[in-house]
């Protein structure tokens, strides 16, 4: 490769048609959010390190953020690696007195020192929505339903929703870390080995057993969760998952919902109910989100969608048919655009129209006030 065009690992030029498709995806998602009352904001790409990384969700992002010295202020600055930390700052400061629940949406590029999961890119196009205020089960369900609806709008099917509880596993494991057989117990919990665990004594045994028994596809665990509720065997985490899952399934009856409270699959700043959305037609997670605390310790929940992965779906948006139009013939060009064509100007002196049209995959040309098809 030419050294002049060599880029750092994890960075790449986004060329057409992928770049065009990604722009259309972002535009459609943001407009979809706006239709549901999510107000658009645009934070800066870079901020002072002390405001971006030293408070709220930013504390969990320090190790994965690029830093640079500001030549003017001589202060350290950080490039955002996730936009949620900026939503936290804006909602807590600039929009602190705005009516709650506050619904916001955003889109932009984020840079990460280390790529996540199967994705090797370190520059990622992120688009998402957040709700800030007193977060109820209804609002947690809303942010997930909005995310699922926009994916359906993009014609992305075969979706799976994983519901988890951030840090629940760690909080339970802390209660058994002093036991002599802790290693065997931890291994059994991670493997969900009910037969082994039922014959052992350890703190929070009933809760842990119930959580393991509740793990799996929601349609097969619904009766078990309902029975727990009716028997007054209260487990707030499981009943919370039951309520949110039931609300979602009312709108998506065929959605594959998987409950796995002990699984950690989202960002470290999340503190409660978290979720990940997958599609059989795409690799890796296409959306993630969950509840967290803002820098003002205010409750919030949100969803982030990964545009580069969504762009991998074929025919999300059909490309417009191209038409060659004589240079600066704006009158006819505007008429053709209104009819749904993409216009490309060409010089009238170009006699080899057919070969030029074929080279840019163009099937039509407009000349002498007529739309004509390029002959093969």
Give the phi and the psi of residue 282 in degrees, each rounded to 5.
-130, 160
**Alpha carbon distance 225, 239 (integer Å):** 7
**Alpha carbon distance 29, 155 (integer Å):** 12
Angle between helices 236-251 and 137-153 (to 10 degrees): 40
Confidence of residue 346 (pLDDT cuts 50, 70, 90): confident
Taking alpha carbons only, the member of 96, 357, 147 closest to residue 252 is 147
Q: Which two tokens stand for residue 233?
A: 């065997």
Give the H or E element holding residue 288.
strand 285-293
Confidence of residue 6 (pLDDT cuts 50, 70, 90): confident
The 10s digit of each residue's pLDDT in 33-57 is 999 999 999 999 999 999 999 888 9
**Alpha carbon distance 153, 211 (integer Å):** 34
Burial profile 188-198: b = 16 or more Cβ within 10 angstroms, e = fewer: bbeeeeeeebe
| Average pLDDT value for the chain | 87
DSSP 330-349: HHHHHHHHHTTPEEEEE-TT
Q: Which two tokens stand for residue 15?
A: 């060329």
**Which span out of 6-10, 109-113, 266-270 was modeled with the highest average pLDDT?**
109-113
The 10s digit of each residue's pLDDT in 201-235 is 888 788 788 888 777 787 766 676 666 666 555 56
Mean pLDDT of 111-128: 86
Asked if 43 contacts 80 with a C-beta cutoff of 8 angstroms, the reply is yes
Task: Report the range of poorest mean pLDDT among 45-49, 130-134, 360-364.
Answer: 360-364
């Amino acid at each position: 490769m030419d050294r002049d065009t060599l880029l750092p690992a994890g960075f790449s030029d986004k060329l057409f048609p992928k770049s065009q498709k990604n722009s259309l995806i972002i535009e459609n998602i943001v407009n979809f959010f706006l239709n549901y009352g999510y107000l658009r904001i645009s934070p800066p790409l870079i901020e002072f390190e002390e405001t971006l990384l030293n408070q709220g969700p930013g504390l969990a992002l320090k190790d994965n953020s690029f830093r640079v010295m500001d030549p003017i202020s001589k202060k350290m600055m950080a490039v955002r690696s996730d936009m949620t930390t900026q939503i936290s700052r804006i909602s807590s400061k600039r929009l602190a007195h705005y009516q709650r629940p506050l619904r916001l949406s955003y889109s932009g590029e984020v840079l990460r020192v280390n790529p996540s999961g199967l994705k090797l890119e370190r520059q990622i196009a992120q688009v998402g929505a957040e709700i800030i205020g007193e977060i109820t089960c209804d609002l947690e369900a809303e942010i997930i339903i909005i995310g699922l609806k926009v994916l359906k709008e993009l014609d992305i099917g075969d979706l799976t929703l994983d519901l988890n509880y951030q840090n629940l596993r760690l909080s339970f494991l802390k209660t058994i870390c002093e036991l002599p057989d802790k290693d065997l117990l931890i291994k059994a919990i991670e493997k969900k080995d009910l037969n082994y665990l039922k014959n052992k004594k350890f703190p929070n045994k009933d809760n842990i057993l119930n959580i393991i028994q509740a793990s799996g596809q929601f349609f097969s665990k619904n009766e078990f969760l309902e029975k727990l509720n009716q028997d007054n065997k209260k487990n707030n985490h499981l009943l919370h998952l039951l309520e949110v899952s039931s609300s979602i399934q009312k709108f998506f009856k065929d959605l594959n919902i998987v409950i796995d409270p002990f699984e950690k699959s989202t960002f470290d700043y999340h503190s409660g109910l978290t979720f990940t959305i997958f599609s059989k037609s795409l690799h890796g997670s296409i959306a993630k989100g969950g509840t967290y605390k803002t820098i003002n310790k205010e409750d919030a929940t949100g969803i982030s969608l990964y545009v580069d992965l969504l762009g991998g779906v074929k025919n999300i948006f059909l490309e417009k048919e191209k038409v060659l139009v004589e240079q600066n013939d704006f009158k006819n060009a505007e008429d053709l655009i209104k009819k749904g064509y993409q216009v490309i100007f060409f010089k009238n002196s170009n006699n080899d129209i057919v070969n030029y049209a074929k080279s840019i995959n163009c099937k039509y040309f407009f000349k002498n006030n007529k739309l004509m098809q390029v002959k093969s």
